[in-house]
């Protein structure tokens, strides 16, 4: 069972972790990446304990972002 249900708007984006984060009671952070959200994942896990939360978000918001990513001539993904 999920520790809590959390709206994506209540989470913070971490450039360092490249993930959305939310404080865990253990002192660490629940984490979920944009790639995980794009694939429909809704569980953010804490790397330091066994707790996890369910992230409430609109999957279409993250699928639309995929359409703005293209590859340059060397095959490296770039955001357009």
Collect all residues with Cβ–Cβ distance below 8 Å to 35 and sequence separation of at least 6: none
pLDDT number for residue 73: 61
Averaged pLDDT of the chain: 86
Report field, pTM of the whole predicted structure over 0.75: yes
pLDDT number for residue 43: 97
The model's pLDDT over 43-75, given as tens digits with 9 standing for 90+, comes to 999 999 999 999 999 988 887 554 555 555 665
pLDDT number for residue 71: 55
């Amino acid at each position: 069972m999920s520790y809590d249900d959390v709206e994506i708007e209540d989470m913070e984006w971490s450039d360092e972790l490249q993930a959305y984060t939310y404080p865990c009671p253990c002192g660490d952070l629940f984490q979920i990446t944009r790639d995980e959200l794009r694939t429909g994942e809704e569980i953010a896990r804490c790397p330091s304990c066994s707790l996890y939360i369910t992230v409430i978000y609109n999957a279409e918001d993250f699928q639309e972002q995929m359409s703005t990513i293209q590859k340059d001539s060397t095959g490296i993904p770039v955001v357009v």
